[in-house]
Amino acid sequence: MRSPRIILSWALVLGSGLPLLGVWLAGKPVAAYLKFPPTTQFLAHEPFSRPVFIGLAVVIVGMLAPFVMRAFRTTQSDVQATADPQYVSPSTFHERQVPTFPFPWWGWLGMLGTLGMWFLAWTRLEWMQSFQAHTFAPLWLGYIVLVNALTYRRTGHCMLLHRPRYFLSLFPLSAGFWWFFEYLNRFVQNWHYVGGGEFSAWEYLVRATLPFSTVLPAVLGTAECLTAWPRCSAGLDRFVTIEFNNRMTWGWALLMGSAVGLFSLGLWPDYLFWLMWVAPLLLIMSLQLIRDEPTIFSNTAHGDWRSLWAAALAALICGWFWEMWNFYSLARWEYAVPFVQRFKLFEMPLLGYAGYLPFGLECLAVADLCLSRKFSGGVAYYRAVEWATDLAQRKPTVAER
């Protein structure tokens, strides 16, 4: 069996079994956590706590501040020099630009589809009643096409056109990926769905799987789009270095930590709910380190955080649209997050948006593990670098002179 399959198999076994073991040892009814379709009637949450809210806010801001300040302090000249090895300072010559390409016709269709489905999702037109609860997937399909078109306009390449097998494979992988988080949500009960009607188990499975399948294409498509603009990750190609010198030791340490976290999720869900966004990533990384496989953090040994930052920022951007489009939709989700359930932006408590950052890394890790050893977003970035170099080295035409 190939190593990625071994890692994925162990990650699924440990990720699904350990929280259930914690529930069983706590003396809670295990059957309630396995009921399908899922319910949200067996877990009461802790009320809002100002000290917890402030403490978490300080931790989140403290972790993000170095990245934001690094990007903010990196000058445009530094960004251009990174994207173009032949760059000449604007004081002696005009700033060379990465060439752009025509916006494709199918990108206009994606834009019109997104705007049209957005309108239909937020209205209650009589003729739309039978379809009103099913606007999520078409809306996000339009978004996915649109971000691929934006990437194409910037670089002339995008995963939709130039990596179609990878692109299409993201949809079934995404469905299984998000079902795993739906399973973890059984233990923390941080969100539940309303407005979709009553369904049998089979109907719920089919109707939920289609929108779940758009998660990875949306996040990774957005990440690829962001890498086409070097300014988005300015300075993060030479940032803090993290190197796992003793990979086996680090692997077992992370494995034990993630295993304890997932196990404890079933015991103390209100206090450890945030681990559902961190522990799966650490679990995958630990197994990769133990088997001496590369991880999504491998490039940080050289100080390169660009792909990680793009994935995290992409998930945050998608999170904004998820929450905004969800707000007035008929079939939607609502949140109940312990200790921080205040200061909502749409339905999501403000601090809840921080969960999208590690979620973006999990999207990257799962796609890298299951589909490719090379992150597709990097293709857009490095292709742009190649074209910038070619442009710099190309001799000017008579017209340009």
**Of residues 29, 367, 14, the one with CA closest to residue 178:** 367
Do residues 348 and 335 touch, judged by C-beta distance below 8 A?
A: yes
Residues 6+ apart with CB under 8 A from 359: 219, 277, 315, 319
Q: What is the pLDDT of residue 42?
A: 63
pLDDT at 350: 95
Asked whether the beta carbons of 276 and 185 are under 8 A apart, the reply is yes
pLDDT value at position 180? 96
Q: Do 335 and 352 form a contact (C-beta atoms < 8 A)?
A: yes
Q: Are the beta carbons of 296 and 307 closer than 8 angstroms?
A: yes
For residue 173, give the amino acid letter: L
Name the burial class of residue 200, with classes exposed (0-12), middle (13-18) and buried (19+) by CB atoms within 10 angstroms of its CB. Answer: exposed
Can you give the pLDDT at residue 75? 61
CB-based contacts of 141, cutoff 8 Å, min separation 6: 113, 214
Calpha distance 286→383 (Å, rounded): 31
pLDDT of 3 reads 77
- What pLDDT is stored for residue 103 in this prediction? 94
3-class DSSP state for residue 192?
strand
pLDDT at 79: 57
Name the pTM for this structure: 0.88
Residues of the chain scoring pLDDT < 70: 1-2, 40-43, 75-100, 372-401
Dist. CA 298–CA 291, nearest whole Å: 14
Helices then strands, counting H and E runs in the chain, come out as 16, 4
Whether residue 102 contacts residue 141, with contact meaning beta carbons closer than 8 Å, is answered with: no
Dihedral angle of Cα 350, 179, 199, 191, to the nearest 10 degrees:
-20
Helix, coil or strand: residue 344: strand
